[in-house]
Structure 1
Amino acid sequence: MIRWVTILAIVAYPIAVWCGLKTWGMGILAPLLGSVFILRLLTFRGKLSQLTFFGKAIALAGIALVAISVLLRETSLLLYYPVAVNLLLFVLFFSSLGARQSIVERLARLSEPDLPPAGVSYTRRVTQVWCIFFVFNGSLALYTCLNGDVGLWALYNGGISYLLIGLLMGIEWTVRKRLQRS
């Protein structure tokens, strides 16, 4: 249950930061966020060792941003967590393109171990699409940080970004199902 609560808290991070900066202040917000990231670090379990490593790196990035924000008394650093997440996910997906199996192929093989050559090619292309997405999404997340409007930052990183992720996943699922039928 702790694992699911921390996942929910991480997803709600932009809303928590927005509310926290407006009402609670760093005295409450920093320990709360730090605790969530520490719990996430301790409870993260990926289906692949590479995912586990990057999942823990993402939690460590959150811990580092909270700690640096407290030390420097600079709350705007908390806004950079979505940028760090996109950067780390880009590194994960992009680095897998140089490996024998891309990260999407590895995930696909969990449910379909005997992936045909067309499936291997398709998963490589999907990995490339996700790389482009992470650059685009991370760039917009960075823009919202630099813009200085916390409301815009929360809207994009706590809503629009998730809608774009869902849209990309939905499109990919639709394309995959059509390709499997043909």
Structure 2
Amino acid sequence: MLAKRALSIVGGLAVIGWPFAVWLVISYAELHILLPILALCFVLRLCTLRGKTGALSRAFKGLAIAGAVLSVASIWMREAQLLLWYPVVVNGVMLALFGSSLFSSMSIVERLARLHEGNLPPAGVRYTRRVTQVWCVFFIINGSVSLFTCLAGNVHWWTLWNGMISYLLMGLLFACEWLIRIRVKRRYE
């Protein structure tokens, strides 16, 4: 249990630290030694997800595989610029996950809300569907900017956006949604 928890922490740190590690690898040729470590972090992340089911777990497994593949391809092709594409992949996978759930009986946000709240009133179902739509818009915008930073080839812009600004915007979106959710719940209670 302790080993699995440690692997989970390492995997999480790999995802958060990815932009900075990529910046180091691209900016300093002598740090290409980090590429196998990045690949290993994603393999460890994949190991922590073994046995977990559900759409979100499958998405996280796919992202861990994508991170490992980009790292190994960068080693093999001696082209660290490939690493820049990981945030684009993340946003694409998350958009597909959230967007496809809008065409099912339950959106992904509704599924997550039901884990915490149990049954939801019809207003709660409408609210979670709207939140899912907002996240889809976020992934489109964030993915587009990430794509632009890849194509621009400026590792400083890429690191600023993918290592800081996108995380701040994500946190802001979480915080705003949480505050709105409290107001919506009060109104219907």
Question: Normalising by structure 1, what TM-score?
Answer: 0.95
Equivalent in the alignment of 1:57: 62
Distance 1:8 1:110, change over 3 A: same
Does structure 2 conserve the Cα–Cα contact (< 8 Å) formed by 1:46 and 1:52?
Answer: no
Equivalent in the alignment of 1:85: 90
SS of corresponding position for 1:6 = helix
SS of corresponding position for 2:28 = helix
SS of corresponding position for 2:120 = coil
Quick one: which amino acid aligns to residue 65 of structure 1? L
Equivalent in the alignment of 1:158: 163
Identity %: 52
- The unaligned stretches of length 5 or more in structure 1 are none
- The unaligned stretches of length 5 or more in structure 2 are 1-5
Alignment of 1:17-166 (within 5 A): 17-23=22-28, 25=30, 27-44=32-49, 49-166=54-171
Q: Which moved more, 1:22-31 or 1:86-95?
A: 22-31
1:128-166 deviation line (CA, Å, top 9, x unaligned):
110010000000001111111101111110000000000
Quick one: which amino acid aligns to residue 104 of structure 1? V
Shift of 1:123: 0.3
Distance 1:169 1:98, change over 3 A: same
Quick one: distance in 2 between partners of 1:127 and 1:78?
28
The number of aligned residues is 182
Does structure 2 conserve the Cα–Cα contact (< 8 Å) formed by 1:103 and 1:127?
Answer: yes
Quick one: distance in 2 between partners of 1:39 and 1:48?
17
Q: Which moved more, 1:44-53 or 1:84-93?
A: 44-53
Quick one: distance in 1 between partners of 2:86 and 2:103?
27
Q: Root-mean-square deviation (CA), in Å?
A: 1.6
Shift of 1:63: 1.3
Shift of 1:70: 2.2
1:83-127 deviation line (CA, Å, top 9, x unaligned):
000000000000101111000000000011111110000000000
Question: Normalising by structure 2, what TM-score?
Answer: 0.91
